[in-house]
Amino acid sequence: MSKMVMTGRPVAIFGANGAGKTNILEAISLLSPGRGIRNAKILDISRKPEDLGWKVKATLKNNEEILEVETYLDNGSSRIVKIDEKIQSQISLGQSYKVLWLSPLMDRLWTEGAEGRRKFLDRLTLNFVPEHGPIFIRFQKCLRQRNRLLKDNINDGKWYDAVEEKLSIEGANLNKNRLIAISMIDNALENLNPVFPKAKLALTESQYLDSSTSAEELKQVFKDNRSKDLRAGRTLVGPHRLDMSALFVEKNNYVTNCSTGEQKAILISIILANAWSLSECFGVPPVLLLDEVTAHLDEQRRSELYSEILNLKAQVFMTGTEKNLFSSISDVSDQFEVHDNKGTSQITPA
């Protein structure tokens, strides 16, 4: 792949489908914790059939701080993260800078199951609370332990007490962090450009618990539901079952019941609000990756989106199939065209 020289202005990348535009965004997204913009397993990112592993290296400037960041996967190894040539955890990637993205895969957020919305919310939360990642991992470990007891039809209460003690603490912290993110984004949504629809986010409540349930209350919920969980062979209630809802304020209608266009517009609103709230919270705007985000926007909303991006002063990478999608910001952006050359992406300034 050719080298891209950028000036710090918004970056517009265009080219035919399959040319490799999203691959560029995916590489940048891997400078953050987790699987990246395509949600691909780390082992699946390597190019096939060579399967030689992959590497992403970048120099990142955060106010006056300059970081040399490198993350890679050698064939057969686990993912390595280095910051200023020192090996670090993936969580370290989210402590000095933030990366947000919006991709066509996320268009199904409001029509598919609750699991996808929880993952979306947890990704947003991770940017506000980097410790959210390790908490989530510990919660999932405890959950697997409890589910194993249930599946094996273990009835010894002491085993459950030990697991549920830890599970409740981590679960309560998960929801506390999620509520922090929701509160920050909701505040930013209130002040967002009026052309973008406003939404009100919330964690949905269940019959047994709500988003503010304490660790002690959550522990009692797990205990009270053991008999039902034993019959099911899995944990039926808990923070891993809550959903995220969004209310379209103007129409007083939940986004799951809105039109496809309204759902897309509200998703853009949430991402922009998240970017503004992160900028206010940490004093530095995030890196923003927008994959094919303008394709289904009318001219006015596309223009307002570009204005919002310029006001945000974030490093933004946008993709689209046609150059004319970015014509209104051609004088204030760096533009590149991507071509497929016998399986290799070639990038040229436009």
Residue 269 is assigned to a structural domain of this protein:
yes
Distance (Å, rounded) from C-alpha 282 to C-alpha 49? 42
Strands 199-203 and 244-248: antiparallel
> Is-cis flag, bond preceding 130, omega within 30?
no
Q: What is the pLDDT of residues 209-218, one digit of tens each?
A: 666 789 999 9
Please, are residues 347 and 1 in contact by the beta-carbon 8 Å criterion?
A: yes
Distance (Å, rounded) from C-alpha 228 to C-alpha 246? 30
Residue 242 is assigned to a structural domain of this protein:
yes
Other residues' Cβ atoms within 10 Å of the Cβ of residue 233: 13
Please, are residues 142 and 149 in contact by the beta-carbon 8 Å criterion?
A: no
The residue type at 220: Q
Residues (pLDDT < 70) of the chain are: 1-5, 46-51, 75-76, 206-211
Name the percent of the chain in helix, strand, coil, to the closest 5.
45, 20, 35
The residue type at 336: F
Residue 63 is assigned to a structural domain of this protein:
no
pTM of the model: 0.89
Residue 130 is assigned to a structural domain of this protein:
yes
Q: What is the pLDDT of residue 49?
A: 59
Q: What is the CATH number of the domain that holds 217?
A: 1.20.1050.90
Q: What is the pLDDT of residues 123-172, one digit of tens each?
A: 999 999 989 999 999 999 999 999 999 999 999 999 999 999 999 999 99
Q: What is the pLDDT of residue 38?
A: 87
Residue 241 is assigned to a structural domain of this protein:
yes
Q: What is the pLDDT of residues 81-132, one digit of tens each?
A: 999 999 998 888 888 789 999 999 898 999 988 999 999 999 999 999 989 9
Number of domains in the chain: 1
Q: How far is CA 311 from the centre of its chain?
A: 22
Residue 236 is assigned to a structural domain of this protein:
yes
Q: What is the pLDDT of residue 4?
A: 67
Name the burial class of residue 146, with classes exposed (0-12), middle (13-18) and buried (19+) by CB atoms within 10 angstroms of its CB: buried
Residue 118 is assigned to a structural domain of this protein:
yes
The region, left, alpha or beta by phi > 0 then psi within -120 to 50, assigned to residue 85 is: left
Domain that holds residue 229: 108-283
User: Which H or E run includes 269?
Assistant: helix 260-282
Name the burial class of residue 190, with classes exposed (0-12), middle (13-18) and buried (19+) by CB atoms within 10 angstroms of its CB: exposed
Distance (Å, rounded) from C-alpha 130 to C-alpha 91? 6
Residue 337 is assigned to a structural domain of this protein:
no
